[in-house]
Chain A
Amino acid sequence: MNDALLRGLVPQVLGVLVRRGHDFATAEDAVQEALLEAHRTWDERMPDDPKGWLVTVATRRLIDLRRSEAARRRREEAVLSEPPPGPVEQADDTLLLLFLCCHPALSPASAIALTLRAVGGLTTREIAEAFLVPEATMAQRISRAKRTLSGEAFSTPADIAVVLRVLYLVFNEGYAGRVDLAAEAIRLTRQLARESAEPEVAGLLALMLLHHARRDARRDRDGALVTLDDQDRSRWHTDEIAEGVRILTAALARERPGEYQVQAAIAALHDDAPTAAETDWVQILAWYDDLLALTGNPLVALNRAVAVGEVDGPPAGLRALDGLDAALGEHHRLDAVRAHLLERAGRHDEARASYLRAARRTTSTAERDHLTKKAAQLRSRPEVR
């Protein structure tokens, strides 16, 4: 069975049903059941018209669902009026569905779950496994999200920034490497980019590709984290880098910069360097200046300090951290960056203390292990003054 084909059809079929006038929440349940039915039967026999098959099965399930709903309410006399079957819409409704599922009224977690099911064509079980929660919990999260959306028009134009943020969150979940959510986020962003001329959509797609290109080098054979400067660059996927750079270049040419385009530009400069030592930090620092001006985000200021340390030396990098304590407080990344800069400055005792503090504060086991090992390496190294 062609899984990619099936998953691509899910939002189209849902679009058909919603356009016929069915309520989104019930239609989405019906499409999910048709999807499960397809998983069960298509291996045996693939229908000649997969989309038509899904529409038919989902419509049948929709009638069943409404009938049992009617029975539950003891309204047997309720008219089970099936809206007249209109022509199957050829227009791709994926974009409208994406906007609906990423509605600002939903929490990020709810928007992610609903997007993966209604637009991504994943089953509830697959989504539950990806987020390590029971299937029943994920099913409830999705139906609550749909209740929140009830009454929202299918065609309500939403804020594209919210859609992009949800897609980026899905992408970042993918790094844990359970279900391939990173690949899923790229697929959905690609679809969005085909239908939207907004340069930030292209910027996000480029950013994802430029990071995804390094996925095989990011962990060693034992699953331990490998930082950018230690990665085996021959394992980076050059085709994805080339595509990311091409998409980014076209987006930047439109001269409407945004944070995803700038982050992609930084990623591209890293991907471009044959060795870590050949990284163009001067340009990277210039992009960080732009990104900081655009976002005012203290985490950006933190990453900028690393670039400052590369361009003007570790003491300058450490000075760039001044004032970030107030904004970032107990954040482990502040300690991790400070440790890195202290180590490069030869102040190994202080670096070690900072690594240990970062290790204690992070919520990631992979990062904790990495930071703990960094601290252990410094124990035997003398201070450089």
Chain B
Amino acid sequence: MPKYLLLKHYRGGPDPLDTDVPFDQWTPEEFDAHMAFQHDIARVLQENGEFVDAQALTQDGAWVRYGGPDAAPVVTDGPFAEAKEVVAGWFMIDVESQERAYEVAAWVSSAPGKDGKPIHEWLQVRQVMEDGPAEP
């Protein structure tokens, strides 16, 4: 079965909807409801035998590159220039088909946010490559 990475971003995607209100404008209850929804997804995916991994990333980070043979690594602190490209976390799933991966992504995107309404966030869906031969 193919594995897919469902990448969540700190706001953004091709055409962010205004339902995707930043966390700091939510009530604590709205935040709890959102997190409970996410945990429930992970639990159902596990019961389905589809769950591989779920992680969240800190909002701040750094860009790092090789600085040369005698130099320290070159480090540029966040925040990243293009906030919409910052990955917030992911689900990795092992599913029958691409259709199923899209279905799960849409489910994740339906998580409740401000006023309990679905946030409609964009998720980036990427297939994980394997070392063996590609599936026929």
Residues of A within 8 A of B (CB): 107, 109-110, 113, 131-134, 136-138, 140-142, 144, 172-173, 175-177, 223, 299, 332-333, 362-368
Contact = CB atoms under 8 A, between A and B. Distances in A.
Contacts of B3: 132
B30 interface: no
Contacts of A173: 132
A366 B132 contact: yes
B134 A141 contact: no
Contact of B135 (A140, A144, A363): A363
In the A-B complex, the 6 residue pairs with the smallest Cβ-Cβ separation, listed nearest first, are: A141-B49, A176-B132, A364-B134, A140-B49, A109-B1, A175-B132
A131 B96 CA distance: 13
Contacts of B52: 132-134, 137
B86 to A, nearest CB: 26
Contacts of A142: 49
Contacts of A299: 136
Given A109-B49, A110-B49, 9 more contacts: A109-B96, A132-B52, A138-B49, A140-B47, A140-B48, A141-B49, A362-B134, A363-B2, A365-B130
Interface of B: 1-3, 46-53, 94, 96, 127, 129-136
B130 A137 contact: no
Contacts of A333: 134
A364 B49 CA distance: 23
Contacts of B136: 299
Contacts of B94: 131-133, 137
A377 to B, nearest CB: 21
Contact of A144 (B2, B49, B53, B133): B49
- Of listed A133, A136, A368, residue having the most chain B CB within 10 A: A133
Contacts of B51: 133-134, 136-137
Contacts of B133: 172, 175, 364, 366-367
B23 to A, nearest CB: 28
A366 B131 CA distance: 5
A332 B134 contact: yes
Contacts of A136: 46, 51
A364 to B, nearest CB: 4
A184 B127 CA distance: 28
B1 A364 contact: no
15 contacts: A110-B49, A133-B52, A134-B53, A137-B94, A141-B49, A144-B48, A175-B132, A176-B132, A177-B132, A299-B136, A364-B131, A364-B133, A364-B134, A366-B131, A366-B132
Contacts of A223: 131
Contacts of B53: 134
A295 to B, nearest CB: 12
A134 B129 CA distance: 18
A107 B1 CA distance: 10
A111 to B, nearest CB: 12
A381 B96 CA distance: 42
Nearest to B52: A133
A116 B132 CA distance: 19
A243 B117 CA distance: 65
A206 to B, nearest CB: 20
B103 to A, nearest CB: 15
B29 to A, nearest CB: 30
Given A109-B96, A131-B94, A132-B3, A364 B129 contact: yes
Contacts of A175: 132-133
Contacts of B50: 137
Contacts of B48: 140-141, 144
